[in-house]
Amino acid sequence: MKVRQARQFGLRTIAVISLLGLVLPTPLAWALDDGGTSKEAVPSGVFCCVNPDACCAANRNCGFYAGILVGGAVSANDPIVQSGTAFITPPLAVRASGDAKSRAGVMAGLHLGYQWGEPTVAGDSDWRILPAVEFEAYYLGTRQAGLLNNPTDRLPEHLFDYRAPLDIAVLMPNLLLTLHTPYRIHPYVGVGVGAALVSNHGVTSLQLSPPEPGINHFNSDPNASDWAIAATCRAGLRFDLGDSWYLFTEYKFLAIGATDYTFGSTVYPIHPPTSAWSVHYGTMFEHMGVLGLGCRF
């Protein structure tokens, strides 16, 4: 128990640090901004500021930006483990495990960042590598499901159908590098480490063999949540729409660390009582395609 409490404290600390990423771009930008006073012309395209003299370096390829994003996801997750005890005579220990099925999902969120200008690439002023710090927060709705088998000598087969709708909140500070080109298309890559809150709602675990129709083994409390470390890598393209607005599309890979949950015991007049149920998810992997609209200011 003490180990789990320490783990929970550590994960919540990571979540707080991730939330700080929401405000880090502002003081960091002010600290590193040279307060450029250059009067050279501002180039066309998305890399433009409302007050260039106050917020942009000499090459003008800097400033705050924000965006909204939506997309879809496909999961590729590690196995699920369900553990508990059925109070029959003698008690039956259950440790059922199985592979998680791939599931589709949806996501939506926003990001806020600050981008700096950098020296030219190979001496060409039209090509620049632009670093940025960014915080993104998004919702991911998906499912965790699988057939879980409990090997036991007392039954020919002990099989559960496990299904869990998931609401996942991701808090992710990122570092990005954008290749600014003389065209209206700018490729970028990024990495980040943050936290995710994984919430299970209305989880069901139905015994298929021996069959127990209509018996959800988590019926007394089918909801549980846990924090986990999360990491991401990204690659995408930005498309200039004018002086400030741009569209972007990207591939995003998200890994969410292992999580543990406690669900309610089985409580039915026609079913033997059980202990509370423990469920473990291995690392969850999400492959996401994202579309978004952003603005520099």
Q: What CATH number corresponds to the domain at position 6?
A: 2.40.160.20
* Residue-range definition of the domain harbouring residue 242: 2-296
122 has a pLDDT exceeding 90:
no
Token digits of residue 181: 């080109």
217-275 pLDDT, tens digit per residue, is 999 999 999 999 999 999 999 999 987 899 999 999 999 999 999 999 999 999 999 99
Residues 265 and 276: beta-carbon distance below 8 Å: yes
Looking at the DSSP bridge assignments, the partners of residue 213 are: none
pLDDT at 16: 46
271-288 pLDDT, tens digit per residue, is 999 999 999 999 999 999
pLDDT at 34: 44
Q: How far is CA 72 from the centre of its chain?
A: 12
Measured between alpha carbons, how far is 275 from 221 in angstroms, rounded to an integer?
Answer: 12
CA angle 15/16/21 to nearest 5° reads 95
38 has a pLDDT exceeding 80:
no
Number of domains in the chain: 1
Q: Mean pLDDT of all residues in the chain? A: 84
Looking at the DSSP bridge assignments, the partners of residue 185 are: 239
Token digits of residue 148: 């879980």
pLDDT at 17: 47
Mean pLDDT, rounded, for 35-62? 40
Residues 136 and 110: beta-carbon distance below 8 Å: yes
Confidence grade of residue 14 (pLDDT, cut at 50, 70, 90): low
Sign of the torsion angle spanned by Cα atoms 130, 136, 140, 146: positive
pLDDT at 2: 44
DSSP assignments along 47-83, one per residue: ---SSHHHH--TT---EEEEEEEEEEEEE----EEEE
pLDDT at 10: 53
Residues with Cβ within 8 Å of 27's Cβ and at least 6 positions away in sequence, in order, are none
Mean pLDDT, rounded, for 189-210? 97
